[in-house]
Chains A and B, each alone.
Chain A
Amino acid sequence: MMEMNPPANSPAPNELGSSLGKAPEKRRRFDRKARLRWSNRMFRILCIGSAAFVCLVLFCILVLMLRTGVLTFADVSLKEFFFSTNWDPENEHYGALTFILGTFALTGLTMLMAIPLSVIIAVFLAEMTPKWLRRLLRPVLDLLVGIPSVVYGYLGLTVLIPWLRDLSGRDLADGLLAASIVLTIMVLPTISRISDDAISAVPNKYRDAAYALGTNRFQTITRVVLPAARGGIMYAVILGMTRAIGETMAVVMVIGNTAQLPTSLFTPTAVLTSNIVMQISSVEFDSIWNHGLYMMGFILLAISILMIVAVRMLQKRGGRHL
């Protein structure tokens, strides 16, 4: 709207609507123009207010998490919190390393399974399926994105864990493997749908040029299409990772919730989110225990914001490339 030539008497180019409101000398108090001007201004104020409110909420969350979390270090040393694996609040041991490592291990394992599968599904959807199948499958994946996480947790608990128990021959199958399979099922639709969009957005002329050079489909996809869609696929993967890191209920149901370092894929363990949700309701607000839990929340918050900033930078770079 900047290209428009504002009338000579208009006050500012970006307030186009107000050009009507150059008041003539004799004007009743609430005629149409005045009303329009008033509602226009009110709407603008309303919008600014809402935006400010959103910022305020976000700011409050950041400050609150940080402030409550930092109180932990009044009683617990930084070294103990970050480098000890002994989490035993009843006996004043507050080492959160187990949960931090657990979160990273779980996310890593999930991504190890989810990335190859999702990229294959994305290629399948974008490059190989006939049109009718694509029209059918895309909405199905969209619906899968919306299935509540607690349902996936229930699925893991009732279907997956008995299978794993039979396969591994152990009495207990709760642990990293079960949790990461559940998370893979959960993030797979997200990652593959966004990657699918990224692959579909690669201009057809790239493909035509590759085919014209005599390549077959395998070579075209792996050497031309996937590199061209790399930015979008990275974006999808990072979004999937934030989801996997922050997922709570699905993980709580299958991971076993024991504060110990996992020695195998089938050892019950705990991650940041599951530990917070299992313990928060039973502690006093002003206790070190609670502050420790808030600190864990802040770690989660910091990880996911860092990842989003990474996405932003990636997008900026990718945008210049394409």
Chain B
Amino acid sequence: MSVKREVNPATAYSFGKRRSSSAWMDRLFTGTVWGVGIIVILFIVGLLFLLLQKGLPMLSWDFLYGVPSEIEEGGGIGPALFNSFYVLILSLLISIPIGLAAGIYLAEFAPNNKLIEVVRICVEGLSSVPSIIFGLFGIALFVEYFEIGLTILGAAVSLAFLNLPVLTRVTEEAVRAVPTELRNGSFALGATHLQTIRQVVLPVALNGIMTGICLTAGRAFGESAVIILTAGVSTSGEMWDFNLLSPGGTLAVHLWYIQSEAIVPDAEQIAQKSTAVLIFVVLLINILFRVPLWFNSRKNQM
């Protein structure tokens, strides 16, 4: 990056017209950036705030707990909300151990050769593949091959596959960022590789790993394309239905369904309230997981 070439020193000495015009440009630029920055951010935050404001005051326990109805007014989102968490937890249970272990392997054990390089590119490539691809995979695997239809199990596994590459990558990066001195210190004390990873490397890398888990959890909670394809748009209609093989429409899917296909008269209110719940839960997940980390990192910096 040749800085010298791009900044012509002669301009600094040219007093008069040129200087005033560049000062004017500078002011204009500053104004534009401030204006656009503030307006765009306020616009987006304002829109989301609008949604929250429309939906939140109408929320009631009946709505959060209630069973959705197909025809009459007053249906709730209980099973959909429950399914959201159920699918989320199941998929995290599958993807976190595997993703973490794979990430640790890539960062700690893997030899430096072409094969591992290809694996890395694959993992990185698949972590940004459209989620609908995983939905198609889920259909082929669960609906066609195992013939269990649209189920919570299928959704959870497909979602876990969607999260796997992301978790692997985040873990690898976090583990790789741990300074080698710490590892060497631990080895010098006679610790085995496992002890070193468990008691030295992972605690140091925890910050990065937690941020990654939090991001994937938020993404999985709001994911709808995969769920529509693998778990359908309906729920079993009962609260606390732990059966892995029942249909598992989640809240995000329910919002789409209510908005585009449902025939209940109060669809609009249900959609408003569901949106508010969705945003609220995602914000809550982020805040719960991240605020401790912010404090942590601030403490470390000082």
Is B282 in contact with chain A by the CB < 8 A criterion? yes
B interface residues, how many (CB within 8 angstroms):
106
Stretch at the interface among A73-81, A89-97, A305-313: A305-313
Pick out which of these stretches binds chain B: A22-30, A122-130, A164-172, A260-268. Answer: A122-130
Known contacts A249-B225, A273-B130, A277-B132; A120/B105 CB under 8 A? no
The minimal Cβ–Cβ distance linking B260 to chain A, given in whole angstroms, is 7
CB-based closest 6 A-B pairs? A148-B222, A246-B130, A214-B12, A17-B192, A124-B37, A50-B101
Listed residue (A46, A124, A242, A294) with the most chain B CB atoms within 10 angstroms of its CB: A124
Q: Which residues of B contact A218 (CB under 8 A)?
A: 22, 25-26, 28-30
B150-201 residues with Cβ-Cβ distance < 8 A to A are 161, 164-165, 168, 180, 183-184, 187-188, 190-197
| Binding stretch for chain A, among B57-65, B71-79, B117-125 | B117-125
Q: Residues of A at under 8 Å CB distance from B?
A: 1, 3-4, 15-18, 20, 36-37, 39-40, 43-44, 46-51, 53-55, 57-61, 64-65, 68, 117, 120-121, 123-125, 128-129, 137, 139-151, 153-155, 157-159, 185, 188-189, 206, 209-210, 213-219, 221-224, 227-228, 239, 242-243, 245-249, 252-253, 273, 276-277, 280-281, 285, 293-294, 297, 300-301, 304-305, 307-309, 312, 321-322
Q: How far is the CA of A322 from the CA of B2 in the complex (A)?
A: 10
Task: Name the contact of B47 in the complex, choosing from A4, A155, A277 (C-beta under 8 A).
Answer: A155
Q: Is the CB of B225 within 8 A of A154?
A: no
Q: Which residues of B contact A39 (CB under 8 A)?
A: 192, 194
In chain B, what residue has the closest Cβ to A54? B102
Contact indicator B101/A248 (Cβ below 8 Å): no
| Complex A-B: 7 CB contacts under 8 Å | A51-B101, A68-B140, A146-B286, A150-B256, A219-B7, A227-B1, A249-B228
Residues of A within 8 A of B34 (CB): 124, 128
Counting residue pairs across A and B whose Cβ atoms lie within 8 Å, the total is: 304
A44-B193, A65-B136 known; A154-B97 Cβ under 8 A: no
Would A43 and B136 count as touching, CB distance under 8 A? no
Known pairs A51-B168, A218-B30, A277-B132; list 9 more (Cβ under 8 Å). A17-B195, A48-B105, A53-B102, A124-B33, A150-B253, A154-B271, A210-B3, A300-B132, A309-B125
Q: Is the CB of B126 within 8 A of A143?
A: no
Q: Is the CB of B224 within 8 A of A276?
A: no
Q: Say yes or no for B263: interface residue by CB 8 A criterion.
A: no
Docked complex Cα distance between A150 and B41 (Å) = 20
Question: CA–CA, A144 to B41, complex, Å?
Answer: 10
Contact of B29 among A155, A157, A217 (CB under 8 A): A217
**CB of A21, distance to nearest CB on chain B (Å):** 8
Residue ID in chain B nearest A251 by CB atoms = B225
Report A257 CB to chain B, min CB distance, Å.
Answer: 10
Which residues in window 24-74 of B have CB below 8 A to A? 25-26, 28-30, 32-34, 36-38, 40-41, 44-45, 47-48, 50-51
A207 to nearest B CB, angstroms?
10
Given A148-B222, A151-B278, A277-B229, A214-B40 contact (CB < 8 Å): no
Asked if A58 meets B259 with Cβ closer than 8 Å, knowing A121-B36, A248-B130, the reply is: no
Chain A residue contacts of B47, Cβ below 8 A? 155, 159, 185
Interface readout for B196-222 with A: 1 if CB under 8 Å, 0 if not?
110000000000000000010011011
Name which residue of chain B comes closest to A41, CB basis: B194
B146 within 8 A of A: no
Question: Is B102's CB under 8 angstroms from A253's CB?
Answer: no
Within the complex, what minimum Cβ distance (angstroms) separates A212 from chain B? Answer: 9
Known: A50-B97, A249-B225. A1 touches B183 (CB 8 A): yes
Query: Is there contact, CB below 8 Å, between A248 and B225?
Result: yes
Measured in the bound complex, the distance between the Cα atoms of B225 and A153 in whole Å is 12
- The interface centre, meaning the residue of A1, A47, A307, A308 with most chain B CB atoms within 10 A of its CB, is A47
Asked if B286 contacts A143 (CB within 8 A), the reply is yes
Task: Indicate if the CB atoms of B7 and A150 lie closer than 8 Å.
Answer: no
* Chain A residues in 8 Å Cβ range of B228: 249, 277, 281
The verdict on B143 contacting chain A, using a C-beta distance below 8 Å, is yes
Interface-central residue, A15, A137, A189, A308, by most chain B CB under 10 Å: A308
Contact of B190 among A20, A149, A273, A285 (CB under 8 A): A20
Expressed in whole angstroms, the Cα–Cα distance for A117 and B32 within the complex equals 11
Least CB distance from B25 to A in Å reads 5
Say yes or no: is B134 at the interface (Cβ < 8 Å to chain A): yes
Q: Known contacts being A54-B102, A223-B7, A308-B121, is A150 close to B252, with CB within 8 Å?
A: yes
- Known contacts: A48-B105, A148-B278, A253-B256. The answer to whether A273 contacts B225 by CB under 8 A is yes
Q: Beta-carbon contacts of B102-131 to A below 8 Å, as 1s and 0s?
A: 101110111000000001011111101111
A294 vs B224: C-alpha distance when bound (angstroms): 19
**A304-B125 contact, Cβ under 8 Å, with A50-B105, A147-B48, A276-B136:** yes
Nearest CB on A from B169, distance (A): 10
Contacting residues, chain A, for B28 (C-beta < 8 A): 218
Give A206 to B222 CA distance when docked, in angstroms.
Answer: 42
Q: How far is the CA of A285 from the CA of B26 in the complex (A)?
A: 61
- Is B301 interfacial (CB-CB < 8 Å)? no
B261 to chain A, nearest CB (A): 11
Once the chains are docked, how many angstroms separate the CA of A268 from the CA of B229? 23
